[in-house]
Structure formats: structure tokens, C-alpha cells
Amino acid sequence: DGRYLFDGRLLDVENSEDLTETSRSKARLSTLGKITDDQTVIFSPENPKYTVTVFTDIDCGYCRKLHQEIAGYNDKGIRVRYMFFPRSGVGSPSYDKAVSVWCADDRNQALTDAKGGKDIEARKCDNPVAEQLEMGQDLGVRGTPSIFLEDGQMVPGYVPPAKLVAMLEAKQAEAHGQAQAQAQAK
């Protein structure tokens, strides 16, 4: 009848599963699945094993730290798809930098330069920055960097390359184990 409200996570104690996060991950996965590569700035190894989507702010210190280690992520087989999340909002200097990066002839170099503190040429063009900011808010992004794994799980904050690949490997092993269990059950 609407008299009571439950606010919090629902945990399946018997199976050690956070049902709330599982549900949120599925919803995030649906949204993230609609993003095409041409809507992102991608740093990728030749043969990636994993793909993560990172909502980033050019002026965020931990976002810069993550980007300084982009070669380390790529060396571990991680493909990074960047989306913009200027925390200060539309019309802020961070927003304008994100638009300039998007409108640059070489987005990857412009992003690297901007995150390295270099001035980049101010540019304007049709861009997805405001839409990406809104999408990030809809996905529950509250800070940057926010890393989304292939299953839709959100990992807030900076994660070093070795730790991120360990998380991705564990997820992959878990998914493989679940697939085997389902096959045996049939």
C-alpha cells in the first residue's frame, strides 16, 4: 500500500550475493551497450582481452593519474573507452576542455595533452559531452574516474593497472564457472 520504504542493498546471505548490485549492473550494462566506439575516445592494445568504459574529467587528479598509466592498462590487455564527465557541469572550463578534445583532429593526443596540463586549442563542434555527462549521472556516476567493467559493475575511483586486470580476470573466471555450472545442470 506504499506505507513502507526500503532504502538500501538487498543481500542474499545464503549465496553471498548483493542482489541490488546485480540488478544495477544489468541496468548499467543495457545503457553501456548502446554506446558505440565512435562515441568514445579509445586507447587500446592491438589485441585487447578486456574493455572498460571510464567516465573522466580532464581536471580530475586521479583521472590524470589513470591516464598517465594508460600504457600499463594497454600492456595488460585492457582497452579503455573514455567518456566525458566534467564534474563542474556544462559551460565550465572542464566542460570546454572536453569539447575541445572531442573536436580536435587527434582526440587521443588532445586528451593526453589536456590531462598532462598542456593548453590545447579551444574548439567547438557537434559533440556528445553534455549527453555523456547526463548518461554518467543516470548510471550513478558521482565522481571521477568511474570505471565500468564489461558486466556493468561500476568501480568508483582510480584503480592501478595490475589491480584492475586482477578484477577483470576474476570476473572472467567467475563467469566461466557459472557457465560450466549451468551446462552441467542441463
Q: Is 59 a catalytic residue?
A: no
Residue (of 167, 128, 129) closest to 150 by Cα position: 167
Catalytic choice (64, 79, 81, 87) = 87
Please answer whether residues 50 and 165 qualify as being in contact, where contact means their C-beta atoms are separated by less than 8 angstroms: yes
Q: What is d(CA 151, CA 135) in angstroms, rounded to the nearest whole number?
A: 17
3-state secondary structure of 80: strand
Catalytic choice (28, 59, 63, 103) = 63
Q: Is 125 a catalytic residue?
A: no
Contacts of 47 (CB under 8 A, 6+ apart): 77
C-beta atoms surrounding 183 within 10 Å: 8
Q: Is 63 a catalytic residue?
A: yes
Residue (of 169, 45, 43) closest to 101 by Cα position: 43
Q: Is 103 a catalytic residue?
A: no
Longest dimension (CA), the chain: 59
Q: What is d(CA 95, CA 3) in angstroms, rounded to the nearest whole number?
A: 42
Catalytic choice (60, 79, 96, 103) = 60
Q: What is d(CA 119, CA 107) in angstroms, rounded to the nearest whole number?
A: 14
Residues noted as catalytic: 57, 60, 63, 87
